[in-house]
């Protein structure tokens, strides 16, 4: 990996005065905290949508595909549109974790975990459609080349739909392995912090006994690189194969050679937009603004802008070649898109995908969180319509005018789509509560080179490490003595107040320390006796002070650190 | 400061002279009448054992068809030295343009590893001017009917071809040259300004030149995305004016990008071996080799995407493109895939090998030869058909433009210090280790 030196011109990727411990605390906080009311509300909505979707799926399978709006001409519509849309969204995760890893982009470290989670959850949604859009889904296993009692009846390997089976299943498995490997050190971190036995048990189970030895880390990095090297061609090939579903056909509007790279560009485009949507909310809700900074949002906007331009270039290329080809069917296909009965969807796709990302050329706009959020949603609407336009407008009017028709979805089409959105958010919300949403191990690896604190120290010409001699020595000495006589007690108190600062009742007012979760009336009294009255004092506590405090009070060892009193007090202090 | 070694200078001049002689022989030996062309083909057939003659005599009564066939062969033979010239001119121009794109990407993405190589890239892109002029002159001569490489430029052909008449709004000589001039102008303009800012940044005491360069690089990349596509339709796809493929522009891009990166690696290794790039280490070469490896695979992806989709759907108007190539160009067509994909895939997979400089050079030579063949396969089937041969005019073309390329690039390299002084990322690049 690149060396620790970083050009001073580069902006910090971790904001605030963050050390290694702060990273652990901040990232573990959402997992260790209880869910609040809003989470339960959103989760219930998502779950309801999911259940409604299941109802629609059961209805479809038990009654028949005729419950959908498909007809004899338009045999693919919302089902495959949603399939391609979800697969596309899934691509950004692998892109962020694999491609950005290959390009040594340090900023990916704050977003890769969530992006990969998003990949997995959206590929699961995508994976539903190939099954439920079958007329006889219970024979779905026939797509697998398994020796059987029909005289070894085999599958035909010439169909892109079969390639899809291999592509999607490989993609899901590799992404899952890649994601889980990266999670091992982070699960281990949660495991080591866990105090409840159940939590400890679960996280020991999922972290596979990770101990973080040098050898483990070396292999871990090698595996990550190899998987990234494999996942990159995979990510290209998966969406390419999805695009082959259309491009290998002879349908005007479908048969075009640009589809493979253009679908991939579109997938990155929509996937990044989805990551943007989710992370803008997540950084706020999980209080991760110091890690997912405006710079991250800006860089994602730039990727959205670039891929949006590539997609725009592909649209223009298609239009030009349709004219240039001199093939009337091809020319009509594009005329129909622009001026036919679905002109509005074509217009939506063009304006959402080509025009809207272009405003990102302005720095003011691409660093605005509100605008980024809106654009990221607009892009995903546009990309849904892109797939809809490609699929439906090419099918509903092709070679034989006598088979021209229209398509309109039924509530079942729509219901299943809503159901997948619900399912996606159900999974994602559960993930956000139980998984470390930022790869803490990776963030810690860039903290010294790209953290604001260390950048400032470097700029000031100060050493990055400072050994606080006096305090450390006394605390270790007092520990060794392990006596409880008054002298050492007052010594501890004074050394504690040395760092926390003393309270001057004439100038300051005491805060209600009970607001800090974990501090009860009794503890507040104890703290006051020591001389701690304000949030500001509490917020200065680090591991050393916590230990000192534990020694002085002798009650609830480890409690203060676990509850992150300092972090809580810091927030309370800032609120005032 | 780099000094152009005399041996290299003389070598490049010898290459140019030899190449010019080869091209001259090509032009002199091209037939000037249909009869001559017939004789040449007959002589060739004798050499091949005369199998073709026996087949031809069976169709002896189709005199009218024969006459048009003879004329066709005559045109093809006449095209041969022109195509040899054009393929070589475009190939070396494409390298410089590919390097320019790579350079702009490095600047726009604020890469920390590559600033140490900026001067090398700037040296290579200097070839855009003579190379661009050479290509442009060939295009002008084509418009002036000196050759028959672009069938749609021939008013007679268009008069009998409904399809070409429909395309005349786009494929007409004036508009064609205007587009070419705009694109060349845009690329050269960016190159010159970027070089100017890059040199000024060395002497400046702030980063304003660096920022300007960042901005124009981003703007250039947008222009390049569009212009490169259109250029490939104009300069290459239109030699087969009936054929079309939406992917074509990006396919040509991949070819030029990988050739360009390969040349950056080769020139850097050469200069490093002469001690001119003391701060360029094996990690820089490793990164370039990774790009050679990755973009080679990307090229194959696009090649396969285009080929497979057309093969699969087998629509007659499209598939003729590959039918002629597989029938008449079997070895170059599939040989190119081996050279551009299988070879780099196997050789550059190992990360230790990517740090062995001579290994990268050897892989680079194969990749470059493979992409020459790629351009050859794009142009030749349309212009000379089955009359192709890699003989004196083709090799002459390569030698001439290789000589010109080496001469121009290394002459430019002498004009500025080879390592930039105060780019904000230069220290990152100097300390770069992978």
Residue B50 has pLDDT above 60, yes or no: no
β-pair partners for A451: A14
- Nearest chain A Cα distance for residue B186, angstroms: 18
Q: What is chain A's mean pLDDT, rounded?
A: 87
Whether B424 sits inside 8 A of A9 (CB atoms) is yes
CB of A91 within 8 A of CB of A75? no
- Nearest chain A Cα distance for residue B20, angstroms: 37
Which residues of chain B have a CB within 8 Å of the CB of A325?
Answer: 244, 317
pLDDT band of residue B407 (cuts 50, 70, 90) is: very high
Judge whether B345 is closer than 8 Å to chain A, CB to CB: no
* Of B317, B368, B334, B385, nearest in space to B151 by CA: B385
- Nearest chain A Cα distance for residue B296, angstroms: 12
- Nearest chain A Cα distance for residue B312, angstroms: 6
Once rounded to an integer, what is the mean pLDDT over residues B87-98?
95
Return d(Cα A415, Cα A49) in angstroms, integer: 8
Instruction: Using alpha carbons, list the distances in angstroms from residue A196 to A25, A202, A298, A349, A455.
Output: 16, 10, 39, 50, 37
pLDDT in tens, A141-191: 999 999 989 988 999 999 999 999 999 999 999 999 999 999 999 999 999
Once rounded to an integer, what is the mean pLDDT over residues A80-94?
91
* DSSP 8-class letter at A150: T
The residue in chain B having the minimum alpha-carbon distance to the alpha carbon of residue A256 is B246
Which of residues B118 and A488 earns the better pLDDT score? B118
% pLDDT > 70, chain B: 95
Which residues of chain B have a CB within 8 Å of the CB of A237?
Answer: 301
* DSSP 8-class letter at A353: I
Angle, alpha carbons A310-A311-A313 (nearest 5°): 65
CB of B240 within 8 A of CB of B149? no
Whether A6 sits inside 8 A of B428 (CB atoms) is yes
User: Considering only A466-470, B33-37, B415-419, which range has the smallest mean pLDDT?
Assistant: A466-470
Whether A309 sits inside 8 A of B222 (CB atoms) is yes
Once rounded to an integer, what is the mean pLDDT over residues A332-357?
92
Return d(Cα B354, Cα A513) in angstroms, integer: 61
Q: Give A186-194 contacts, CB < 8 A, sequence gap 24+.
A: A186/A27, A186/A113, A186/A435, A186/A436, A186/A439, A186/A440, A186/A441, A187/A436, A188/A212, A189/A24, A189/A27, A189/A28, A189/A436, A189/A440, A189/A441, A190/A28, A190/A31, A190/A32, A190/A436, A193/A24, A193/A28, A193/A32, A193/A562, A194/A32
Judge whether B273 is closer than 8 Å to chain A, CB to CB: no
> What three-state secondary structure class fits A216?
helix
Helix (DSSP H) and strand (DSSP E) numbers for chain B:
18, 0
* DSSP 8-class letter at B357: H
Whether B112 sits inside 8 A of A7 (CB atoms) is yes
Instruction: Using alpha carbons, list the distances in angstroms from residue B41 to B63, B286, B395, B420.
Output: 17, 49, 21, 56
CA atoms within 13 A on the CB side of B348: 31
- Nearest chain B Cα distance for residue A125, angstroms: 27
Helix (DSSP H) and strand (DSSP E) numbers for chain A:
25, 0
For residue B341, the model assigns a pLDDT of 94
pLDDT band of residue A487 (cuts 50, 70, 90) is: low
> Residue A149, Cα to own-chain centre: how many angstroms?
45
Residue A299 has pLDDT above 90, yes or no: yes
Whether A310 sits inside 8 A of B246 (CB atoms) is no
% pLDDT > 70, chain A: 94
Query: ipTM of this predicted complex?
Result: 0.90
The listed range with the strongest mean pLDDT (A243-247, A324-328, A510-514) is A243-247
* DSSP 8-class letter at A151: T
Once rounded to an integer, what is the mean pLDDT over residues A335-363?
92
Whole-model pTM? 0.86
Judge whether A251 is closer than 8 Å to chain B, CB to CB: no
CB of B372 within 8 A of CB of B83? no
Residue B24 has pLDDT above 90, yes or no: yes
Angle, alpha carbons B226-B231-B237 (nearest 5°): 120
pLDDT band of residue A16 (cuts 50, 70, 90) is: confident
pLDDT in tens, A374-393: 999 999 999 999 999 999 99
Whether B246 sits inside 8 A of A3 (CB atoms) is no
Judge whether A467 is closer than 8 Å to chain B, CB to CB: no
User: Considering only A9-18, A50-59, B16-25, which range has the smallest mean pLDDT?
Assistant: A9-18
Q: Which residues of A504-518 are buried (b: 16+ CB within 10 A; e: fewer)?
A: eeeeeeebebeebee
* DSSP 8-class letter at A110: G
Which of B108, B246, B303, B428 to substitute to test the interface with A, most A CBs within 10 Å?
B246
């Amino acid at each position: 990996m690149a060396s620790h030196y970083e050009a001073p011109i580069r902006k910090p990727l971790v904001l605030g005065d963050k050390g290694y411990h702060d990273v652990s605390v901040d990232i573990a906080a959402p997992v260790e905290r209880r869910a609040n009311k809003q989470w339960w509300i959103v989760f219930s909505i998502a779950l309801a949508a999911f259940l409604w979707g299941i109802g629609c799926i059961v209805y479809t399978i038990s009654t028949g595909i005729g419950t959908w709006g498909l007809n004899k001409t338009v045999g693919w519509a919302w089902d495959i549109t949603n399939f391609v849309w979800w697969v596309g969204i899934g691509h950004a995760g692998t892109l962020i974790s694999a491609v950005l890893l290959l390009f040594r982009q340090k900023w990916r470290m704050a977003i890769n975990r969530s992006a990969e989670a998003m990949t997995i959850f959206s590929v699961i949604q995508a994976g539903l459609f190939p099954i439920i859009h079958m007329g006889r889904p219970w024979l779905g296993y026939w797509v697998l080349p398994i020796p059987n009692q029909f005289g070894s009846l085999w599958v035909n390997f010439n169909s892109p739909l079969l390639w899809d089976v291999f592509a999607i299943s490989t993609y899901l498995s590799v992404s899952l392995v890649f994601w889980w490997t990266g999670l091992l050190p982070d699960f281990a971190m949660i495991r080591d912090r866990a105090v409840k036995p159940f939590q400890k048990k679960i996280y020991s189970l999922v972290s596979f006994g990770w101990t973080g030895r040098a050898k483990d880390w070396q292999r871990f990095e090698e595996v990550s690189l190899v998987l990234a090297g494999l996942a990159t061609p995979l990510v290209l090939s998966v969406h390419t194969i999805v695009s082959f579903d259309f491009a290998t056909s002879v349908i005007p509007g479908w048969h075009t050679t640009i589809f493979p790279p253009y679908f991939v560009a579109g997938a990155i485009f929509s996937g990044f937009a989805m990551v943007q949507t989710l992370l803008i909310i997540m950084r706020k809700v999980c209080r991760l603004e110091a890690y997912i900074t405006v710079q991250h949002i800006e860089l994602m906007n730039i990727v959205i802008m670039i891929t949006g331009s590539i997609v725009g270039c592909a649209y223009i290329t298609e239009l030009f070649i349709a004219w240039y080809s001199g093939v009337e069917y091809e020319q009509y296909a594009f005329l129909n898109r622009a001026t036919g009965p679905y002109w509005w969807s074509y217009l939506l796709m063009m304006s959402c995908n080509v025009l809207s990302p272009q405003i990102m050329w302005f720095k003011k706009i691409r660093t605005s969180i509100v605008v980024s959020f809106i654009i990221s949603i607009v892009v995903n609407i546009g990309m849904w319509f892109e797939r809809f336009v490609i699929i439906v407008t090419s099918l509903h009017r092709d070679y034989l005018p006598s088979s021209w028709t229209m398509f309109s979805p039924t509530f079942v089409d729509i219901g299943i789509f809503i159901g997948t959105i619900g399912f996606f958010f159900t999974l994602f919300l559960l993930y956000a509560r139980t998984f470390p949403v930022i790869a803490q191990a990776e963030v810690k690896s860039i903290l010294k080179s790209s953290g604001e604190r260390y950048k400032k120290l470097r700029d000031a010409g100060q050493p990055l490490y400072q050994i606080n001699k006096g305090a450390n020595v006394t605390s270790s000495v007092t520990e060794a003595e392990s006596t409880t006589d008054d002298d050492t007690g007052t010594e501890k108190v004074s050394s504690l107040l040395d760092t926390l600062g003393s309270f001057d009742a004439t100038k300051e007012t005491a805060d209600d320390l009970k607001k800090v979760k974990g501090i009860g009336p009794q503890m507040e009294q104890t703290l006051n006796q020591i001389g701690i009255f304000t949030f500001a004092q509490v917020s200065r506590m680090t591991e050393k002070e916590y230990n000192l405090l534990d020694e002085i009070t002798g009650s609830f060892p480890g409690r203060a650190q676990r509850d992150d009193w300092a972090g809580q007090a810091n927030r309370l202090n800032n609120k005032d | 400061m780099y000094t152009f070694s005399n041996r290299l200078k003389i070598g490049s001049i010898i290459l140019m002279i030899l190449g010019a002689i080869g091209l001259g022989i090509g032009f002199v030996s091209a037939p000037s009448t249909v009869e001559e062309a017939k004789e040449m083909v007959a002589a060739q057939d004798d050499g091949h054992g005369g199998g073709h003659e026996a087949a031809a005599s069976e169709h002896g009564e189709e005199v009218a068809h024969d006459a048009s066939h003879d004329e066709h062969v005559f045109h093809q033979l006449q095209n041969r030295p022109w195509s040899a010239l054009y393929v070589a001119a475009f190939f070396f121009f494409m390298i410089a343009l590919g390097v320019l794109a790579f350079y702009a990407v490095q600047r726009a993405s604020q890469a920390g590893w590559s600033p140490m190589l900026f001067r090398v890239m700037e040296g290579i892109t200097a070839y855009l001017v003579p190379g661009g002029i050479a290509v442009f002159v060939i295009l002008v001569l084509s418009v002036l009917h000196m050759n028959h490489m672009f069938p749609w430029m021939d008013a007679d052909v268009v008069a009998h071809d409904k399809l070409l008449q429909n395309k005349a709004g786009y494929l007409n000589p004036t508009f064609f040259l205007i587009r070419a001039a705009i694109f060349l102008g845009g690329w050269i303009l960016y190159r010159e300004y970027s070089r100017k800012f890059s040199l000024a940044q060395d002497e400046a005491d702030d980063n304003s030149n660096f920022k300007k360069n960042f901005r124009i690089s981003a703007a250039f990349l947008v222009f390049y995305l569009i212009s490169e596509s259109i250029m490939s339709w104009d300069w290459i796809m239109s030699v087969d004016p009936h054929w079309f493929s939406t992917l074509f522009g990006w396919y040509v891009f991949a070819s030029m990008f990988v050739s360009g990166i390969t040349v950056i690696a080769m020139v850097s290794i050469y200069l490093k071996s002469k001690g001119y790039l003391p701060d360029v280490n094996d990690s820089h070469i490793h990164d370039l080799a990774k790009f050679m490896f990755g973009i080679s695979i990307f090229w194959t992806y696009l090649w396969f995407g285009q080929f497979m989709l057309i093969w699969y759907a087998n629509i007659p108007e499209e598939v003729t493109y590959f039918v002629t190539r597989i029938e008449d160009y079997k070895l170059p067509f599939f040989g190119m895939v081996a050279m551009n994909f299988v070879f780099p895939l196997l050789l550059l997979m190992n990360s230790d090998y990517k740090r062995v400089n001579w290994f990268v050079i050897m892989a680079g030579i194969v990749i470059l030869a493979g992409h020459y063949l790629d351009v050859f396969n794009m142009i030749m089937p349309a212009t000379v058909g089955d009359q192709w041969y890699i003989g004196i005019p083709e090799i002459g073309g390569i030698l001439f433009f290789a000589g010109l390329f080496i001469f121009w690039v290394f002459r430019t390299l002498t004009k500025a210090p080879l390592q930039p002084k105060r780019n904000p990322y230069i220290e990152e690049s100097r300390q770069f280790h992978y």
